[in-house]
Amino acid sequence: MLKSHGNSSIQVIVNGQVYRNQSVAAYYDGIANLKSQVRQSFSPWQQDYDRVIYGLLPNCKPSFYRN
C-alpha cells in the first residue's frame, strides 16, 4: 500500500508494516523488489484458492474463489 507522505514522498506499507518512507522516484526504481515481496505474501493463499482478487476501493476485502 502507498500513503502520501508529503513533498513528493510516500510511505510504503508491506504486509501491514511500514517498509520505508521514500521519494516517488525511489519507489519506482525499487518496484521490482516490492513486487517480489507482494507475490510472496499471496503465495500461501494461492495454494488454497484458485484466484485471489483484491480491489482498491475503500473497505474492500479480499475475495477467494475455488473451482
**Which amino acid is it at 30?**
G
Digit-coded pLDDT (tens) for 16-26 = 888 889 998 89
Q: How confident is the model at residue 32 (pLDDT cuts 50, 70, 90)?
A: confident
Predicted TM-score of the model (pTM): 0.57
Strand pairing report for 63-65 and 17-23: unpaired
pLDDT tens by residue, 36-49: 777 777 778 778 87
Domain extent listing, the chain: 2-65
